[in-house]
With several copies, the nearest count.
Chain A
């Protein structure tokens, strides 16, 4: 199935793209999506312990299931205000 990956701020700069569309296996989780992404772009791994994740613009967890057409976002530590 296909998911859209959204990347922000420095994660986006490291990936060189704000949005990617990737094929992932059925029954994938956010973790599956991330593992595929970091294999493809090893420089992203430095965010593994500090990033947050969201599915369809809701905060989520690495273990959450993803479905066809979902938008999966990886978020560096925030700095608003």
Chain B
């Protein structure tokens, strides 16, 4: 199982974790994050979401996040899988796993990773709600924006 992936398949947090902790005899901490599709957003009743990615660039952006995290937390091993296509309410759109000797780094790297995903990974979601649909738009992706990167690092509470 690849450390990073963009996939139309159902995500499997447990399999990704198993892969990362294999022979992790020196690691004492695993922090994970899972993003789920919610049934409402900004006052709208959501029916389902549709995720689209610029796949080759999205995979590179995920690898970039892994590299950035390694530079800050050298002992952390990070896995990130993002799903695309149609997702129903309650399904997982993203799973992130951080394995580390100590919990502090595992939590920080995991949190950092989800913040960076929202900043620089070329994925878009179209929300299908009762009465219409709308493309959600967040951050202008710029991996070289050091202010954004530092904001993610502050939020990570390292």
Contacts and interface: CB of A to CB of B under 8 A. Distances in A.
Interface of A: 6, 8-10, 13, 50-52, 54, 57-59, 73, 75-81
A59 B60 CA distance: 10
B141 A59 contact: yes
B53 to A, nearest CB: 7
Contacts, number: 90
Contacts of B117: 80-81
Interface residues of B, number: 33
Contacts of B114: 81
A65 to B, nearest CB: 18
Given A8-B124, A81-B93, A52 B140 contact: yes
25 contacts: A8-B52, A8-B124, A9-B52, A9-B126, A51-B140, A52-B122, A52-B142, A54-B54, A54-B57, A57-B54, A58-B57, A59-B144, A77-B140, A78-B118, A78-B124, A78-B141, A79-B118, A79-B135, A79-B136, A80-B51, A80-B58, A80-B82, A80-B123, A81-B82, A81-B118
A58 B120 CA distance: 12
Interface in B122-158: 122-126, 135-144
B126 A77 contact: no
